[in-house]
Chains A and B, each alone.
Chain A
Amino acid sequence: MTFLLMFCLPLVMAAVCFALRQQQGLVQILAIGTTMLLGWVIWQVPVDQPISIVGVSMTVRAINRLFLLAVAGSFCITFIVATRVAHGENFVVIGLIIFSLINAALTIDVQSPFLITLLLLATGLAIILAQVDLPIGTTTLLRGRAIGSGLRYLVMMLLAGVLLALCFVLADLENTPDRLSTTSLARPLLALLVVGISLRLAIIPFHSWLPDLLEDSPPLVGILIGMINLAALLFLVSAFQFLLAPGLLTLDPGRLRLVRFVALGSAIGGSLLAIHERPSLRRFLAMLLISDSGMMLFGVVSSTTGLTGALFQAFNQLVLSVVLWTAVALLERPEPTRAAAGDGWLRRRPWASGVFICGVLALLGIPPFNGFASRTLLYQGAAEEGRGYLVALLIATMLGAYAFALVLRDHFLGRAPASLPEEDLTDFRGLGLPPPPPQRTEPLGATTVAVALLGICLVIGLYPPLVLDPIIEAVRGLTFVQFL
């Protein structure tokens, strides 16, 4: 019953919110209440007690509960922020549907990977609707590029879903006792899994959809993408457990090294691209996330320490994506006057700028924020595998820090912002139309929530065992690590 509540309640509430979508205030209150209630339900679910629904086994393990709670909390905060930040008409509805799908994907047992793949595919379809969703009563047209990036995302996610599903059908075939051929399917299995997950996590060279999508979508959609990426990373861990532990897939050192190189390439390449993409705050952030995903992928295929670091970093990325995209939304709010040259964000939007800067520092693993502990574990995991890996990860971090220093100089300290949407300033000039109401101050509610979330990052950074202990416990139970 509790499990059904976790999946069905958000879906039912999504339907209710869709019917009431003209009354956004009520819809947001309902959504916040739903996420709070479900957070409490998840807290009450007994751990490690599997149940079966229509032949599918479901369990909540300690690690899953941690991430389920983090997802519920992130949705709750996102819906609170949505009361003060521009978003699409159906954002709350789509958010609740994604919440339900992620709950299901994190609860279904690893023995049904095909079903989890389909649920992740469905989350991708939902994101596209959020991407092209316009606010109620908007007077402007949707940009053609937004439809284009949505379509690209649709194609990428569907291909990723087909590849992953194909991988698990092949795994099923490999597991058939009376198979005719003795040819091993290990190589195609690994290729399908790695390419499928790389497409989902935007690992280089499958990354181009992420910056385009984040650039053309409302800022809060970035948080939803962060949540789906978290689910995809956890699914990769489950997939390795499903494939490696029973011996369906064997990883020889050569293949493992190849996957590590791909991950390191993404970590370094993402940081390099962040330097190149610094004129746009959103594209810069997308590149940093690509670099971070590369590091997490490396952690998953390195060692126990690396895997622990990757899971911890995934948790941090989820929390930080809420912080960073809220800050971006606050920074991009329309201004009454055009900024003077040399008048950076830090002067005009001090709170939002502070949140953004601290969020990026946390993502880069700078102490005392939460990213420091997870990045340290990733470095430790890399050092265990070889000094070269450690050097590569450190180079990626330094390049990311350099890109951020340039962004800080260009956007926050000195020059006028380049990423401010032009239509906010130009729509009404010279036409006799009334200008939008001036918004001189930063919205107190959303800023307070972002600062409070940053406080949580600081607490986790100062006392990592809060999150780390259940992750360490969970990693002990993952038997596939011994095959890496």
Chain B
Amino acid sequence: MTLLVASGAVIAIMRDWRFSLIAVLVNYIAQGLLIAQQQFIVPDLVIAGRQFSSLVFIKLITGIGVAIILGITALTFSREYGLEDLDEFSLAELRRAARVAQRASSQENRKFGDYIVPIWATLLVGLASFFLPRVLPLAVEMYPDQLGLARAIDFMWYWQVFIGLISLVLATDILKLGLGLLLCLSGLDLLYTTLANRINILALGTLSLVTLLLALAIAYLSGLLYGRFKTLNLSETERLK
């Protein structure tokens, strides 16, 4: 649970994609571990003498898949594709975009002040996730005899969804926006896995598939944006109307 909270906070606060991607991987692993600890999930696999549920593996594979997709994308941003097909106008536009991006990155001076809003927003999300389960407790109603576990589940899914939304709101670059979307989806995944009456394996598989597709879509759009403007900054999408 601590890992889940910490990784969510890192995604919301940190701007460096290296930290964010590691935090995403940790987040998915922590989610898998959280599910593995639940008594209501029946183990159906035995590995090295220990029993696991296949659900845990689905989560882990999804998380590793997402981290790999986004990691490869982040590492290959700088590559150029399909330049040979472009006309003179487009090549000139690309050179201009590269100059603008270089100027912007040289002027970028990260100050502590830039982190104040994300830090306060994360604290607010923490408070909301702590108090909202008192108003609308869902897991507590399902598992009244395991109060501690139920409170933890309620806190965790609220936290995941809200920290995802906050990351969306505060996002200045496309990767951060994508991570926010992934966190929202991950919160929904947690809610469905822990609270649904009848967990359907096809629905869970589809949810994992949608998560991977979302990661692919984000990777593709990031590549497009970088290829076009030499930056991941979202403000560029409003230029050149």
Contacts and interface: CB of A to CB of B under 8 A. Distances in A.
Interface of A: 53-56, 112, 114-115, 118-119, 121-122, 125, 128-129, 132, 137-145, 147-148, 150-151, 154-155, 158-159, 161-162, 165-166, 169-170, 172-173, 175-176, 179-181, 188, 427, 431, 433
Given A145-B237, A169-B192, A175-B197, A132 B221 contact: yes
A52 B220 CA distance: 36
Contact of B213 (A114, A125, A176): A125
6 contacts: A144-B239, A145-B238, A158-B185, A170-B138, A173-B195, A181-B141
Interface string B199-241: 0111100110110011001001100110011000010111111
A139 B87 contact: yes
A148 B144 CA distance: 46
A176 B196 CA distance: 9
Interface string B76-107: 00000000011111100110000000000000
Contacts of B236: 144
Nearest to A115: B203
A139 B192 contact: no
Given A144-B240, A179-B142, A169 B203 contact: no
Contacts of B177: 151, 155
Given A118-B207, A140-B87, A165-B188, A179 B202 contact: no
A179 B138 CA distance: 10
Contacts of B203: 56, 112, 114-115, 118
A176 B210 CA distance: 27
A114 B90 contact: no
Contacts of A142: 224, 228
Q: From DSSP, what is the main secondary structure of chain B's interface residues?
A: helix
Nearest to B237: A148
- Contact residues on B (Cβ < 8 Å of other chain), bracket: 35 or more
Contact of A145 (B141, B217, B241): B241
A191 B93 CA distance: 46
Nearest to A122: B210
A128 B200 contact: no
A246 to B, nearest CB: 13
Interface of B: 85-90, 93-94, 136-138, 140-142, 144, 161, 168, 174, 177, 181, 184-185, 187-188, 191-192, 195-198, 200-203, 206-207, 209-210, 213-214, 217, 220-221, 224-225, 228-229, 234, 236-241
B221 A145 contact: no
A205 B202 CA distance: 34
Nearest to B205: A54
B229 A125 contact: no
**Binding site secondary structure of chain A:** helix
A179 B181 contact: no
B228 A427 contact: no
B90 A173 contact: no
B184 A158 contact: yes
A150 B236 CA distance: 14
Given A114-B203, A129-B217, A172 B195 contact: yes
Given A125-B214, A165-B188, A427-B89, A147 B237 contact: yes
Q: Give the most central of B168, B174, B225: most A CB within 10 Å.
A: B225
A273 B225 CA distance: 31
B100 to A, nearest CB: 12
B135 to A, nearest CB: 10
A112 B200 contact: yes
A128 B221 contact: yes
Given A144-B239, A180-B144, 14 more contacts: A56-B202, A132-B224, A139-B90, A141-B90, A141-B94, A144-B228, A145-B237, A147-B224, A159-B184, A165-B192, A166-B191, A175-B197, A181-B137, A188-B136
